[in-house]
């Protein structure tokens, strides 16, 4: 089919009433029908809503996974007699005289003529990098995954020295040592002589070398006469390790597709064990608990390995090891004594088996389709150290635009300019705050992204300006598939510049089906695509090609379908033998494909204006390092209680793996949740970093203003609570975005229990409560008709109910409280010893709060005299903060005299008194209220230090022996200045 002539029918309700049916109905049919007529008939077929498991591989349908698991089974059967065939040639060891780097040849007893090279190095921060590649092979293995994931090449230590002995190669620094065993090859990280991480300790290392395809070996022995022959089978001497048969070496079939596998087998597997860590986390994205359940061993929770293969899995199961939209091959192992981590920088499909030989140890087996072994061992020893070590490798999330932390209202689809205006008007009529309205694919004429449907959106710039007049923004979807049409300039330019992914032949353009019908995909591995893509987002066309002139700086971007999702492709994705820039097959780069699209879109939105503004670009597909480019969400969930619950678990798993700016679709993408579920979901969503409601076009409209009372009022209160806490969210994002801080801090926005209290074993598997920063403990209710819940306090500290100020006293041994809850109740607790900055004046959007005064909630610790907290402010959208134009304050409470308090504000950081700070000064932005929780006695006076006038204050005594609450009304202290408030008692 010619690229200029094939078009898909326009998907509008008027032309095809059922064409908007669930993605499940469409995608399954896309996979089997290429002709447009057949395709449309398929789209109109109704099916029950459910994940189509047969569209996606399980391990037993994946050749290389079968081979890896079979290897593991043979090792288990052999028991103590099993021995890895890989060993280090000690005569080949080369140690750098200037830095902690060493190389050596690795030999395999299976293939003596094949050479591998081992490269081990210790970074400045103690992280150990282990690389193994085929040396002088028939082909080059893909070795660029780390270059995309890492923020920069890590500095190698110049202080640590490798020492080669008779049996091993060893490096020691502090209480950490790394030992490379020669025969068999093992790599062990130890702390104080205790094993932390072991590579190939179980002997499952195997790197399939490149080879030529040969006919099965036979020996013909002729008997009496030329016609009589006897065929003698030659015994395979490697069968004990590799198996007797070649399994899917040169071709592999799945459903109706055939993978040609022209390079033959090239997978690798390796066991990674944690002999002294019984709980592991990470390797998102999977719909399961934060503490990863087992997949093998005795009574495993799951029977298939965890799969990392970015895939468009609509209506996914709420408990499964199935791959979803993103893949981060980063695992943390935890115990009460230490935390360690492993980052396996591989871009191809990967399966991970997991089991616990004991309750204090964990074994994992990683099986990848292609690439090199490139593993980073993170020594910890605390969760905070692991977070810092990992983000030094892959980068931190940038400071987002402040408005993007507000509430996002989305639906597939708001159908016209008038629809958007109507939705905004209804929000304002009901006094519901909102910051962003979203447009899904129907804004685009024939799904030609950037090209507005002129009948439905005749005035896109004016519509956006109407939204922006109240400080709000738009987010518009731009997917990576381009409609193959002669009247689509984006496709035409990409085709003429040869920027599109290629079929297996390596020539021409790959053609597949997606929302646009016949489509091609930009190959962002081609550097020539980068500046071209960024140029499309320019508002002013300077004659250098087409650009999106019908846009404004209030429009930001949503990257969906970037796994990539291809309706008629294997597993609803791109064929693995397709070719990318540089000659690499798609199998080699699949899991990083979506990250490049996200990266370039983020750069494009940033660079379209001068001076640059912070971009907001949401992605569905992601990889290690994607946090540097923006937010993500957990994909096409269902409106069920189970999906609400697992959404929190997924956000926590994403957060500890670097993707801090994440959230799940409030209400579920599919289905029609009852009002009580919507209320509970909004309560949870308001405490996710990314807070968006989204819905499928087949669902009933469920904007908050459409609900009846009391549900509408409850959601209104939740939305306002999110905005009241905006200073906390923005300050916490600021902390998460920083690097090189003098005092190491946790750099995760919402923190699971184990990360806050790493020695408390009761919290290791806890994923139903979490902390926002180090200030708030949140216990959302994610089950129906709950009238009471439990809250666990892991420390000997007081916590205060956010709404009632009631204190709850924890214990160093851990203490559980049973709390009554109503539908309107959100269990939120302020941690004693912290100070919470708030803005309590209701506004319609976050930018309208820029000059509002602050309230400080001071939660005194168990001593009744100490607390601290921070507040960070800047202009909320630009980059002047990088030159010191910000306000960063630390608030403290300390004992004054025998029973009094002193509250103070001091500057933090290197603020240089820039334009924003001056603006805040001129507008007199102040602290208008201070609420002090846990005050032991009624004060005698409250004054600003250096002033004689008594402040207006009130004291509410606690019940019984409990402390009281002091409220100081409008102390008239500026948020930009140093000040002290003295409470005499």
Q: Give the bridge partners for 190, in sequence order.
A: 177, 195
| C-alpha distances in Å from residue 556, one per residue of 146, 421, 475, 604 | 29, 18, 5, 10
Q: Is the pLDDT of residue 811 over 90?
A: yes
Give pLDDT, residue 232. 56
Give pLDDT, residue 540. 87
3 state SS of 717: helix
Residue percentage of the chain with pLDDT more than 70:
92
Give pLDDT, residue 605. 98
Catalytic residue at 563? yes
Long-range contacts of 385-389, Cβ-Cβ distance < 8 Å, separation of 24 or more: 385/339, 385/744, 386/332, 386/339, 386/340, 386/341, 387/656, 387/746, 387/747, 387/748, 387/755, 388/125, 388/744, 388/747, 389/125, 389/126, 389/127, 389/341
pLDDT digits (tens, 9 = 90+) for 45-73: 333 356 888 999 999 999 999 999 999 99
Across residues 409-418, what is the average pLDDT? 97
The backbone torsions φ and ψ at residue 455, rounded to the nearest 5 degrees and listed phi first, read -75, -40
Please report which confidence band the pLDDT of residue 234 belongs to, taking 50, 70 and 90 as the band edges.
low
Q: Are 313 and 620 in contact (CB under 8 A)?
A: no
CA 110 to chain centre: 40
Across residues 621-630, what is the average pLDDT? 98
List all residues 6 or more positions away from 679 whose beta carbon is below 8 Å from its beta carbon: 711, 714, 715, 718, 823, 824
Please report which confidence band the pLDDT of residue 391 belongs to, taking 50, 70 and 90 as the band edges.
very high
Torsion from C-alpha of 220, 226, 230, 232, nearest 10 degrees: -10
Give pLDDT, residue 123. 98
Q: Is the pLDDT of residue 237 over 50?
A: yes
**Cα Rg, the chain, nearest whole Å:** 30
pLDDT digits (tens, 9 = 90+) for 544-565: 899 999 999 999 999 999 999 9
Ordered DSSP codes for 820-885: E--TT---EEEETTEEEEE--S--SSGGGGTT--EEEEEE--TTSS-EEEEEEE--SSSSGGGGT-
Across residues 392-398, what is the average pLDDT? 95
Which listed residue (636, 665, 795, 928) is catalytic? 636
Q: Of 522 and 911, which is predicted with more confidence?
A: 522
Give pLDDT, residue 748. 59
Please report which confidence band the pLDDT of residue 100 belongs to, taking 50, 70 and 90 as the band edges.
very high
Q: Which of 51, 50, 49, 46 is nearest to 17 (CA)?
A: 46
3 state SS of 449: coil
Q: Of 262 and 15, which is predicted with more confidence?
A: 262
Compute the distance between CA of residue 758 and CA of residue 782 in angstroms, rounded to an integer: 25
pLDDT digits (tens, 9 = 90+) for 292-336: 999 999 999 999 999 999 999 989 999 999 999 999 999 999 999
Query: How many residues are present in the chain?
Result: 985
pLDDT digits (tens, 9 = 90+) for 498-533: 999 999 999 999 999 999 999 999 999 999 999 999
List all residues 6 or more positions away from 211 whose beta carbon is below 8 Å from its beta carbon: 138, 264, 265
Across residues 453-474, what is the average pLDDT? 98
Give pLDDT, residue 44. 28
Q: Are 480 and 597 in contact (CB under 8 A)?
A: yes
Give pLDDT, residue 40. 30
Q: Is the pLDDT of residue 905 over 60?
A: yes
Q: Is the pLDDT of residue 643 over 50?
A: yes
Edge-first strand listing for the sheet containing 887-896: 941-944, 979-984, 900-907, 887-896, 867-873, 834-838, 854-859, 926-935, 964-974, 952-956
Q: Output the average pLDDT for the chain.
A: 92
3-state helix, strand, coil in the chain (%, to 5): 20, 30, 50
Please report which confidence band the pLDDT of residue 41 belongs to, taking 50, 70 and 90 as the band edges.
very low
527 secondary structure, DSSP code: T
- What is the DSSP pairing of strand 770-772 with strand 750-752? antiparallel
Q: Of 425 and 225, which is predicted with more confidence?
A: 425
Catalytic residue at 224? no
Q: Is the pLDDT of residue 911 over 90?
A: no
Q: Is the pLDDT of residue 8 over 50?
A: no
Q: Is the pLDDT of residue 740 over 80?
A: no
Compute the distance between CA of residue 332 and CA of residue 383 in angstroms, rounded to an integer: 9
Compute the distance between CA of residue 692 and CA of residue 665 in angstroms, rounded to an integer: 6
Q: Are 269 and 71 in contact (CB under 8 A)?
A: yes
Instruction: Write out the two tokens for 141.
Output: 């293995």
Cis peptide before 229 (omega within 30 of 0): no
Which listed residue (563, 585, 703, 874) is catalytic? 563
Q: Is the pLDDT of residue 30 over 50?
A: no
The residue assigned the tokens 């984006």 is 490
Across residues 396-412, what is the average pLDDT? 97
Please report which confidence band the pLDDT of residue 541 belongs to, taking 50, 70 and 90 as the band edges.
confident
Instruction: Write out the two tokens for 454.
Output: 């002129």
Compute the distance between CA of residue 745 and CA of residue 743 in angstroms, rounded to an integer: 6
Question: What angle (nearest 5°) sits at the alpha carbon of residue 414, between those of residues 412 and 420?
Answer: 150
Q: Which of 216-230, 844-858, 953-967 has the lowest mean pLDDT?
A: 216-230
326 secondary structure, DSSP code: B
Please report which confidence band the pLDDT of residue 21 belongs to, taking 50, 70 and 90 as the band edges.
very low
Which listed residue (440, 560, 665, 735) is catalytic? 560
Q: Which of 669, 691, 616 is nearest to 433 (CA)?
A: 691
Q: What is the pTM for the complete model shown?
A: 0.94
List all residues 6 or more positions away from 207 whose beta carbon is below 8 Å from its beta carbon: 108, 116, 132, 134, 268, 373
Give pLDDT, residue 749. 75
Q: Give the bridge partners for 352, in sequence order.
A: 306, 366
Catalytic residue at 560? yes
Q: Is the pLDDT of residue 15 over 80?
A: no
Please report which confidence band the pLDDT of residue 20 belongs to, taking 50, 70 and 90 as the band edges.
very low
Q: Are 500 and 494 in contact (CB under 8 A)?
A: yes
Across residues 11-39, what is the average pLDDT? 34
Give pLDDT, residue 229. 53
Give pLDDT, residue 397. 94
pLDDT digits (tens, 9 = 90+) for 348-377: 999 999 999 999 999 999 999 999 999 999
């Amino acid at each position: 089919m010619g690229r200029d002539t094939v078009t898909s029918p326009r998907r509008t309700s008027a032309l095809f009433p059922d064409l908007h049916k669930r993605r499940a109905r469409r995608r399954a049919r896309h996979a089997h029908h290429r002709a447009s007529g057949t395709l449309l008939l398929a789209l109109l077929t109704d099916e029950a809503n459910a994940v189509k498991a047969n569209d996606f591989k399980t391990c037993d349908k994946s050749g290389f996974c079968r081979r890896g698991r079979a290897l593991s089974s043979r090792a288990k059967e052999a028991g103590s007699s099993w021995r890895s065939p890989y060993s280090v040639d000690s005569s080949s060891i080369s140690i750098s005289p200037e830095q902690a780097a060493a190389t050596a040849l690795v030999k395999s007893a299976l293939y003596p003529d094949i050479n591998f090279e081992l490269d081990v190095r210790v970074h400045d921060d103690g992280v150990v990098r282990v690389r193994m590649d085929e040396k002088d092979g028939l082909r080059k293995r893909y070795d660029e995954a780390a270059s995309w994931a890492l923020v920069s090449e890590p500095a190698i230590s110049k202080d640590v020295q490798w020492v080669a002995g008779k049996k091993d190669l060893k490096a020691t620094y502090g209480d950490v040592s790394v030992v490379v065993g020669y025969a068999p090859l093992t790599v062990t990280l130890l702390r104080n002589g205790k094993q932390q991480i072991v590579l190939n300790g179980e002997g499952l290392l195997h790197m399939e070398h490149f080879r030529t395809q040969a006919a099965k070996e036979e020996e013909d022995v002729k008997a009496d006469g030329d016609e009589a022959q006897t065929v003698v089978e030659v015994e395979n001497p490697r069968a004990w390790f590799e198996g007797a048969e070649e399994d899917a070496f040169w071709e592999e079939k799945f459903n109706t597709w055939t993978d040609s596998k022209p390079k033959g087998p090239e997978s690798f597997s390796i066991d990674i064990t944690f002999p002294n860590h019984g709980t592991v986390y990470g390797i998102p994205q999977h719909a399961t608990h934060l503490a990863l359940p087992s997949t093998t061993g005795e009574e495993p929770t799951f029977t298939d390995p965890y799969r990392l293969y970015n895939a468009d899995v609509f209506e996914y199961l709420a408990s499964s090891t199935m791959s979803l939209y993103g893949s981060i091959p980063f695992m943390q192992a935890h115990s009460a004594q230490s935390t360690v981590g492993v980052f396996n920088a591989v871009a191809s499909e990967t399966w991970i088996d997991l089991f616990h030989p004991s309750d204090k140890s964990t074994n994992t087996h990683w099986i990848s389709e292609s690439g090199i072994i490139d593993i980073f061992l993170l020594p910890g020893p605390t969760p905070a150290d692991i977070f810092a070590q990992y983000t030094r490798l892959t980068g931190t999330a940038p400071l987002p635009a402040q408005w993007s932390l507000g509430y996002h209202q989305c639906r597939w689809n708001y159908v016209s300019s008038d629809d958007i205006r109507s939705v905004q008007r209804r929000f304002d009529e009901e006094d519901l705050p909102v910051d962003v309205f979203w447009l899904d694919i129907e804004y685009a004429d024939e799904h030609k992204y950037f090209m507005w449907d002129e009948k439905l959106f005749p005035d896109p710039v004016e519509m956006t300006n109407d939204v922006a007049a109240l400080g709000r923004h738009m987010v518009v979807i731009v997917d990576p598939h381009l409609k193959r049409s002669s009247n689509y300039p984006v496709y035409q330019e990409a085709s003429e510049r040869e920027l599109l992914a290629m079929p297996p032949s390596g020539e021409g353009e790959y053609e597949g089906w997606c929302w646009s019908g016949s489509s091609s995909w930009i190959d962002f591995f081609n550097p020539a695509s980068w500046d071209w893509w960024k140029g499309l987002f320019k508002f002013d066309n300077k004659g250098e090609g087409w650009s999106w002139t019908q846009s404004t700086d209030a429009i930001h971007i949503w990257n969906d379908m970037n796994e990539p999702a291809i309706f008629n492709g294997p597993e609803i994705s791109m064929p693995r033998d397709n070719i990318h820039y540089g000659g690499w097959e798609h199998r080699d780069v699949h899991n990083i494909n979506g990250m490049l699209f996200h990266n370039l879109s983020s750069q494009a939105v940033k660079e379209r204006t001068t001076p640059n503004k912070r971009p907001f670009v949401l992605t569905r597909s992601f990889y290690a390092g994607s946090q540097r480019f923006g937010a993500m969400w957990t994909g096409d969930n269902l409106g069920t209680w189970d999906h609400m619950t697992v959404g929190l678990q997924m956000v926590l798993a994403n957060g500890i793996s670097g993707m801090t700016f994440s959230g799940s679709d409030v209400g579920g993408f599919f289905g029609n949740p009852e009002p009580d579920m919507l209320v509970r979901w909004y309560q949870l969503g308001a405490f996710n970093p990314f807070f968006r409601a989204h819905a499928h076009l087949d669902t009933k409209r469920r904007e908050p203003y459409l609900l009846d009372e009391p549900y509408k009022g409850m959601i209104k209160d939740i939305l306002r609570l999110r905005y009241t806490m905006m200073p906390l969210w923005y300050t916490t994002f600021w902390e998460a975005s920083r690097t090189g801080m003098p005092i190491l801090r946790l750099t995760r926005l919402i923190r699971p229990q184990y990360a806050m209290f790493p020695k408390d074993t009761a919290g290791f598997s806890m994923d139903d409560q979490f902390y926002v920063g180090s200030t708030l403990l949140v216990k959302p209710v994610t089950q129906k008709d709950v009238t009471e819940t439990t809250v666990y306090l892991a420390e000997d500290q007081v916590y205060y109910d956010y709404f009632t100020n009631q204190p709850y006293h924890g214990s160093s041994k851990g203490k559980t409280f049973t709390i009554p809850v109503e539908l309107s109740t959100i269990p939120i607790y302020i941690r004693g010893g912290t100070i919470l900055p708030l803005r309590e004046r209701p506004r319609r959007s976050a930018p309208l709060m820029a000059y509002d005064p602050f309230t400080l909630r001071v939660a005194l610790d168990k001593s009744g005299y100490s607390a601290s907290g921070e507040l960070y402010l800047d202009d909320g959208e630009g980059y002047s903060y990088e030159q010191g134009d910000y306000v960063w304050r630390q608030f403290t409470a300390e004992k004054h005299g025998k029973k009094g308090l002193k509250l103070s504000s001091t500057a933090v950081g290197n603020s240089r008194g820039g334009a924003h700070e001056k603006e805040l000064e001129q507008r007199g932005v102040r602290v208008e209220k201070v609420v002090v929780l846990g005050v032991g006695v009624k004060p005698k006076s409250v004054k600003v230090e250096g002033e004689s006038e008594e402040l207006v204050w009130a004291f509410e005594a606690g019940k019984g022996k409990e402390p009281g609450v002091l409220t100081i009304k409008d102390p008239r202290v500026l948020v930009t200045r140093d000040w002290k408030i003295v409470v005499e008692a």
